[in-house]
Amino acid sequence: QVQLVESGGGSVQAGGSLRLSCAASGDTFRIRCMAWFRQAPGKEREGVARIYRFGDYTSYADSVKGRFTISQDNAKNTVHLQMNTLKPEDAGVYYCAADANPGCFSRDLRASEYDYWGQGTQVTVSS
**DSSP codes, 32-73:** SEEEEEEE-TTS--EEEEEEETTT--EEE-GGGTTTEEEEEE
Give the model's pLDDT for residue 74.
Answer: 83
Q: What is the mean pLDDT of residues 52-63?
A: 94
Whether 109 shows a pLDDT value over 90: the answer reads yes
Mean pLDDT rounded to a whole number for the chain: 96
Q: What is the mean pLDDT of residues 53-60?
A: 92
Give the model's pLDDT for residue 121.
Answer: 97
C-alpha distances in angstroms, 10 versus 4, 39, 54, 71? 18, 15, 30, 20
Cα–Cα dist 127/122, whole Å? 16
**Residue count of the chain:** 127
Using an 8 Å Cβ cutoff, are 83 and 14 in contact?
A: no
